Structure 1
Amino acid sequence: MLARATLALAGDEIATEPPATAAEPAWAFSITAYPTQVRGGDNYTSGIAIAERGSLHLEARYNYESVGARSAFVGWNFSGGEALAWKLTPLLGGAWGETQAVIPGFEAAVAWRAFDFYVEAEYVRDKTAHSDSYTYAWSELGLRPVDWLRVGLAGQRTRVYGGERDFQRGPFAQVTVKHLTLGVYCFNPGASDQVVVGSLNLAF
């Protein structure tokens, strides 16, 4: 942030006020765990940690692009709107471990009244085998009837677990109590390849 000096004019006199330094943006952090139950497959837990300061966005992930993969990203937040609020975060990062890749991507959100839409997407460009490169996406269409409850539909395209579906979808629900948000997502409900994802988020 740049400090702005205030000049006050009084008749022919110019009174210089002490420089007024804008408050430095504070760091904001969030940690989310996603325990995942795969019907007919291996269960696992993935995690995401985010740190933001002003427009700067830093993100680290575990078991996200693939089981055993670790990844890190840097991005920049753009936002605006009042009645229709929006936020866009372009990202660039990389993965190591089970998956070794350069990963460009983005996260975006739009909110209007009690409705919101969120999407994140990334292209995982595998450095060891180009044929293993793929595009991952996660989207949510949500409704918040009261401040502490959010429900809606979610969809994802992933290679973390097997299955013939190119795109998976299902309902979700989230409950927020102060800094803690608990959620559950059910993809392909009732099917032989049903996937249930829990979410535990702490923001501070």
Structure 2
Amino acid sequence: MTAAIALADEIDGKGRRGFRPDGSSWEFTVTAMPTIVRGGDNFVSGTVTADRGSLHIEARVNYESVGARSAFVGWNFSGGDEIKWELTPLVGTAWGTTRAFVPGLEASVAWRRLDFYVEAEYVNDKNAQSSSYFYAWGELGFRPVEWLRVGLAAQRTRVYGGSREVQRGPFAQVTWRRMTIGGFWFNPGSKDQVLVTSIGVAF
């Protein structure tokens, strides 16, 4: 969209900042995700997040569908020493081209240079129950060096068409200070290729 585990003073794969357990200050991220769809319409989606202590607030555009807007509130839980984890249950709503109640979950776990990230939500469309769907995005990442993260990603979405229920492909991300730039190549070599780029800034 645009993730490694979000820890205090670190940036995850989608550019989000880890929350501060003491709640001493707000942490913000802004992420833009230009998307190139082979044989379809290109678009840009984006997210803005704000964290203070365990409180998590998130706003999205062109995420549940092109032309949709959504907002969420959630609570961060984290722990672990050797194996570190974070869990953020969310509730939100979408309006615009999709009008829906949207419960969701963001979770991550990291061990040494390996990490796994997943976000999922159920889009319960108020206009038509047949338009309701389950969305998921997952990443399995590896950091050969601190500033580089590579791995495999998969997603299930209805933002754009295509014959594939689940899309898969490689990704790579580079982090420099508070900025993360990445690329996700889904369905490589097929007629349903999708390239999702991400540019995230944390402050």
Fold match, TM over 0.5?
yes
Distance in 1 of aligned mates of 2:67 and 2:33:
14
What amino acid is the match of 1:26? S
TM-score (normalised: structure 1): 0.88
1:157 corresponds to which residue?
A: 156
* Mapped pair 1:67 → 2:79: no
What amino acid is the match of 1:156? Q
2:132 corresponds to which residue?
A: 133
The SS at the match of 2:142 is strand
Distance in 1 of aligned mates of 2:166 and 2:193:
12
Distance in 2 of aligned mates of 1:115 and 1:25:
29
1:144 corresponds to which residue?
A: 143
1:9 corresponds to which residue?
A: none
1:15 corresponds to which residue?
A: none
2:17 corresponds to which residue?
A: none
Shift of 1:25: 1.8
Count of aligned pairs: 183
24 and 159 in structure 1: CA distance in 2 versus 1, 3 angstrom threshold:
closer
Distance in 2 of aligned mates of 1:49 and 1:102:
19
1:81 corresponds to which residue?
A: 80
Higher Cα Rg, which structure: 1
Q: Which runs of 5+ in 2 are unaligned?
A: 1-21
Distance in 1 of aligned mates of 2:118 and 2:91:
16
Contact 2:23 2:52 in 1 (8 A): no
The SS at the match of 2:57 is strand
1:161-180 correspondence runs (5 A): 161-180=160-179
Distance in 1 of aligned mates of 2:32 and 2:190:
24
What amino acid is the match of 1:40? G
- Structure 1 runs of 4+ off > 4 angstroms? none
What amino acid is the match of 1:61? R
Distance in 2 of aligned mates of 1:42 and 1:163:
12
CA-based RMSD: 1.1
163 and 176 in structure 1: CA distance in 2 versus 1, 3 angstrom threshold:
same
What amino acid is the match of 1:31? V
2:25 corresponds to which residue?
A: 26
What amino acid is the match of 1:106? L
144 and 129 in structure 1: CA distance in 2 versus 1, 3 angstrom threshold:
same
Contact 2:181 2:200 in 1 (8 A): yes
Larger RCO (CA within 8 A; separation ≥ 6): 2
Contact 2:23 2:54 in 1 (8 A): no
Distance in 2 of aligned mates of 1:24 and 1:88:
17
130 and 24 in structure 1: CA distance in 2 versus 1, 3 angstrom threshold:
closer
* Mapped pair 1:120 → 2:119: yes
What amino acid is the match of 2:88? T
Shift of 1:24: 4.8
The SS at the match of 2:144 is strand
TM-score (normalised: structure 2): 0.89
Instruction: Output one character per residue of 1:3-44: Cα deviation in whole Å (capped at 9) or x when no partner.
Output: xxxxxxxxxxxxxxxxxxxx7521000010000000000000
Shift of 1:145: 1.0
Instruction: Output one character per residue of 1:105-147: Cα deviation in whole Å (capped at 9) or x when no partner.
Output: 1000000000000000000000010110000000000001111
Shift of 1:190: 1.3
* Mapped pair 1:58 → 2:33: no
